[in-house]
Amino acid sequence: MNPRRLATIAIVPLLLALAGCSLITTGPIAAFDVEPVVIYAGETVRLDASPSSGRRSIVSYTWDLGDGRAASGKEVTTSFQSPGRYTITLTVEDVTGRRDEAEEGIIVYLRSGTEIFHEGFSSGEPALGDWPLDPTWASPDEGAVEYVASGPGYALHIRSTNESWHRRYATLSLPPLRGGQKVVFSCRVMTLQNQDHSTFIIVPLRREVGSSAGSSPYYRFTSDGGGSYVQEPTAYGTDVGHPIGFKPGVYNWHTYSFSYTSSGYEFEVDGTVWRSGPLNVDITEGGDWLILIGEESASESCNAYYDDIVVRIEE
């Protein structure tokens, strides 16, 4: 027989033996289940590594919970206190020291009915520090937190001089939204004196102070411009104004509300719906936004009080 053929025949069993050895010593395979399927902040989450497997015994289960915490054990019970997106990583190790990893992304939601922002200015003047001034036009002395004896108590008084806008803003962190949830914004406003040459705005969700691009619809009243409008921002930083029939009463408190779903919005005043339409921005992923409020008066004849600014997650 050909010597080369004999050598080949001799090598084949050796290769098969080595392949079998490789199969026998293959490391573990990491896998796990997460319960429940829909996770809410502060509620129990169970992590189960039972689906992990291997030819050799697995002796170690280590978890990275994605929020700076770690855990160990085949089964782990935990919770996530803040809404958001997290990546959970499981590392398993068998008796031979071989390791494997598996990871899964989860979304932690807030329960419907949760209040995520509330400003009642109850701390008085110190509350003004939570509402930075847009320095583009106004000066700091054009706003104050004052006590309204005949009204709700403390409220933010915004006034402007020299035909300039006085705008203030606060940061709002939105959680991810589960299917069917919506963001509900409400704010009480009282205008003073007459309304000649005056304008005021209520902007629940804005990306930048100086631009409305990528922001949600908002409310604008302008006495010189024909009254009340719901402004729908475009992707280019311009607005399309839709006039509505409501006119705010002087020295009267009115509650202005916006409801935003994944696809649309609804605007109402004192419980009456004035406009609804499509929403051209994605709020379902959550993230950081700005609440913007402001007033402009060319004659110093109109001032506005703002109070009870609330944002909730609802069904």
What confidence score (pLDDT) does residue 191 get?
87
Instruction: Judge: domain 114-314, CATH 3.50.50.60.
Output: no
One-letter amino acid for residue 170 of the chain? A
Confidence (pTM): 0.85
What confidence score (pLDDT) does residue 137 get?
67
Per-residue confidence at 194, pLDDT binned at 50, 70, 90? low
Percentage of residues in the chain having pLDDT higher than 90: 68
Rounded Cα distance between 196 and 302, Å, is 7
Rounded Cα distance between 171 and 289, Å, is 6
pLDDT at residue 88 tops 50:
yes
The number of residues making up the chain comes to 315
Compute the average pLDDT of residues 142-171: 83
What confidence score (pLDDT) does residue 4 get?
45
What confidence score (pLDDT) does residue 5 get?
45
Rounded Cα distance between 297 and 197, Å, is 6
Rounded Cα distance between 34 and 32, Å, is 7
pLDDT at residue 18 tops 60:
no
Same fold, 3-109 and 114-314: no
Q: Which of these ranges, 26-30, 65-69, 163-167, has the smallest mean pLDDT? A: 163-167
What confidence score (pLDDT) does residue 167 get?
87
Task: Indicate the average pLDDT of the chain.
Answer: 88
- Kindly state the tokens that stand for 159: 């006034």
* Assigned CATH for 3-109: 2.60.40.10
What confidence score (pLDDT) does residue 223 get?
82
List the chain domain ranges: 3-109, 114-314
Q: What is the pLDDT of residues 163-182, one digit of tens each?
A: 667 889 999 999 999 999 99
